[in-house]
Amino acid sequence: MVSNCNKSAKIQFFTMVFFIFQLCFFSQDGLSYAQQEKLKIAIIPNRSNLGNEQAYSTFFDELEKETGIVFEWLGSTTYDDVIEKIKSGIADIGYVGAFAYVAAQDSFGVRLICRTLSKKKEEFYNSIIVTRKNSGIHDLEGLKGKNFSFTDPKSTSGYLFPMAQLKKTGIDLEDFSEVKFLKRHANILFAVYMGHVDAGATSTTAVDKIDINMDEMQIIWKSEPIYRGPWIARKDLAEEQFNRVQKAMLKISDSQENKNIFDGLSTKGFVKGKDSDYDNVREVIKWMHDK
């Protein structure tokens, strides 16, 4: 009888120890998860929110692996939406265009993590104004009275640079029969190609984002080279986190094993940049403001 009591007591004791061990283990695990570093990311809407999330998912996974930081995706509807999220601290880092970067930097301050690269590690792109070859439009003056499309009012190549050139040519918004803002660069090419609009402003990078016969299109204006858009961080992001993210992005860019990460993206890598890289954008903004 005593023996059975001792045996029962031992079972209860070890059960209690096992329970306490599990409680401590899972509590620590839960605490560790709760305390895991997280940064929120916002990206300009070059695609739908779902399209952007899917296109960047492999890159985000690799970035998490390299930094140990969990990146939370935030959908955005406009360029201003991304900038507002960075300004308010809702987003910690973001991918924006050159115009949006300069506006944010000069307004409330952000940090430049890196610039993006395209195919063959090209650092620049151009703004273009396109029409169909059969449109009867052969130069900028021929756009008067036509309907025209831009991407977003904060787009460098889809609004700022082409609008400045139009003004220099003597054309303002009221000179068009209709003006549309179609958000994405690929939308411009498609709308012009299908004849939904007579002409539009977009980026040279848009050509790789849509399957149309470019032989039926003509470029009637092309801008000077513009540094590709930057990844930025809110100005008060911890220095250690900023450096870790920047180092990881540059490492991913340089790795020959990570080429598949950029499949489906016009971005094919990253390079360190400096604020003065976007001075030509500032000059155009100033010119437009003075007008």
pLDDT in tens, 135-154: 999 999 999 999 999 999 99
Residue 269, strand partner residues: 117
Residue 260, pLDDT score? 84
Residue 8, pLDDT score? 56
Pick out the chain residues at pLDDT < 50. Answer: 1-3, 15, 17-21, 23-34
Domains annotated for the chain, with CATH where assigned, are: 40-119+230-276 (3.40.190.10), 127-223 (3.40.190.10)
Report yes or no on whether pTM surpasses 0.85.
Answer: no
Q: Which of 176, 172, 216, 182 is nearest to 202 (CA)?
A: 182
At 165, is the secondary structure helix, strand, or coil? helix
* Contact predicate 242/69, CB 8 Å: no
Type of residue at 287: W
Q: Which of 169, 160, 165 is nearest to 281 (CA)?
A: 160
Measure CA 195 to chain center. 29
Residue 210, pLDDT score? 87
* Contact predicate 115/123, CB 8 Å: yes
Residue 202, pLDDT score? 97
> What count of residues does the chain have?
291
